[in-house]
Amino acid sequence: MLVPQEDELEQPPYLYPDYVGTRLRAPKEPLIILPKTLSDVTGPVYGHHRLGELDNDLTRQHEGEPQGQKIIVHGRVLDGDGRPVRNTLVEIWQANAAGRYRHKVDQHPAPIDPNFSGAGRTMTDDDGYYRFITIKPGAYPWQNHYNAWRPAHIHFSLFGRAFRSRLVTQMYFPGDPLFFQDPIFNSVRDEKARQRMISTFDLDATIPEEALGFRFDIVLEGRYATPFERPHA
The predicted pLDDT at position 5 comes to 39
Percent share of the chain, pLDDT over 70: 86
Return the number of other C-beta atoms located less than 10 Å from residue 224's C-beta. Answer: 14
What CA–CA distance (Å, rounded) separates 164 from 167?
9
Q: Quick one: average pLDDT of 54-82?
A: 95
Which residues does the annotation mark as catalytic? Answer: 101, 140, 150, 153, 155
Q: Quick one: average pLDDT of 175-185?
A: 95
From residue 163, how far is each of 6, 94, 107, 112, 196 by CA, in Å?
A: 26, 21, 31, 31, 25
Return the number of other C-beta atoms located less than 10 Å from residue 22's C-beta. Answer: 19
Instruction: Give 21's pLDDT tier (boundaries 50, 70, 90).
Output: confident
Instruction: Give 30's pLDDT tier (boundaries 50, 70, 90).
Output: confident
What average pLDDT does the chain have?
Answer: 87
Residue predicted with more confidence, 71 or 12: 71
Query: Contacts by 79-82 with C-beta closer than 8 Å and gap 24+?
Result: 79/219, 79/220, 79/221, 79/222, 80/219, 80/220, 80/221, 80/222, 80/223, 80/224, 80/225, 81/222, 82/219
The predicted pLDDT at position 3 comes to 41
Whether residue 161 has pLDDT greater than 70: no
Whether residue 64 has pLDDT greater than 50: yes
The predicted pLDDT at position 49 comes to 64
